[in-house]
Amino acid sequence: MIASGTKDRGVLLHRRPYSDSRTIVELLTASHGRVSGVLRQSAAAAARAELFVNYELSWRGRNELVNVSHCEPVSTYRLSGRRLFSGMYLNELVMRTTRSKQLVAGLYERYLSTLDALQHNEDLEPPLRVFERGLLESLGLAVQFDREMPQGDPIDPQESYRFLPQQGFQRMPNDESGGMKGSSLLAVAKDDYSSPASRQAAKFVLRTALQDFIGEQPIVSRALFQSIV
C-alpha cells in the first residue's frame, strides 16, 4: 500500500480532466509502478504535467487515486513527428498491460531507455521491438525466439515456423508455404533487426503476443503510424 507523503520519480502516461481545477494523471514510477492520481491544475502544475518528462514526484493518500502534491521536471525527452507517435505507442502499451499500483520490475528504467533511443536514433524500429520483448518478459510472457515447441529444441535456421500465442514456435511441414524462416527468428533472438525479414517476423510475433494478452480492442496509436509500430 502506498504510504502518505510518498516521494518517487516517474513519468506521465496519460491525463484526463477530472474537474475545472483538477486532472487525473496516470504515472509510471520507479519504485511504485503504476500510480493513479489527482493533480490540481494551478498554472505551475499545468505547465509541468507533460508527456515524456521524468519528474521528481510526491503524493499523499492511500486510496485508488492519490493526491499529487509535487512534480518537478528532472529530464525531458524531445519527441516530434514519428518519434512522438512511437512514444505515444509506448505509453499506450504500458497503460494497456499494467494496472494501478502494479510494480513491473525494470519497466520504468526500460521505458526511459527507450525514450532516449527514440530521441536520438534515426532508426526507430529496433528500440520499439526491444521494448516490446522486454515488456513481455517482465510480464512473465517472454517469447523464446531461439526455441521451438513442444520440446524446446533449438530453432533450425533452414526451417519455417508458425507462431502460436502462449505456446511458441511450431515447425511447419515442408509441403506448407508461408511462415517465418528460422534464420529470421534467430536474428530477433539476438535483437538483430538488420534484415527486412527479421523486422517483419519480430513485428508480427510481438504484436500477436501483446494483442493476445491485452484482448481484442486494438491499440489505437498503432493506427497512427503503422509502418513502425
List of E strands, 126-182: 147-148, 153-154, 160-164, 168-171, 180-181
C-alpha span between 103 and 7 (Å, rounded): 15
For the residues 11-29, what does the mean pLDDT come to? 90
Predicted structure pTM score:
0.89
Mean pLDDT for the chain? 90
Statement: residue 207 has pLDDT above 90: yes
Judge contact between 64 and 72, C-beta under 8 A: no
**Which pLDDT value is given to residue 227?**
60
Band of the pLDDT at 4, cuts 50, 70, 90? low
* Alpha-carbon separation of residue 146 from 132, 169, 186, 188, 202 (angstroms): 17, 9, 5, 8, 12
102 compared with 1, residue with greater pLDDT? 102
Superfamily covering domain 6-76: Nucleic acid-binding proteins (2.40.50.140)
Residues near 80 by Cβ (< 8 Å), separated by ≥ 6?
A: none
Judge contact between 60 and 5, C-beta under 8 A: yes
For the residues 123-129, what does the mean pLDDT come to? 97
Kindly state the cell numbers that stand for 219: 491499440
- Tens-digit pLDDT profile for residues 37-49: 999 866 455 556 7
Locate the domains of the chain by residue range: 6-76, 82-224
**Which pLDDT value is given to residue 191?**
96
**Which pLDDT value is given to residue 129?**
98
Q: Which fold has domain 82-224?
A: de novo design (two linked rop proteins) (1.20.1440)
Band of the pLDDT at 110, cuts 50, 70, 90? very high
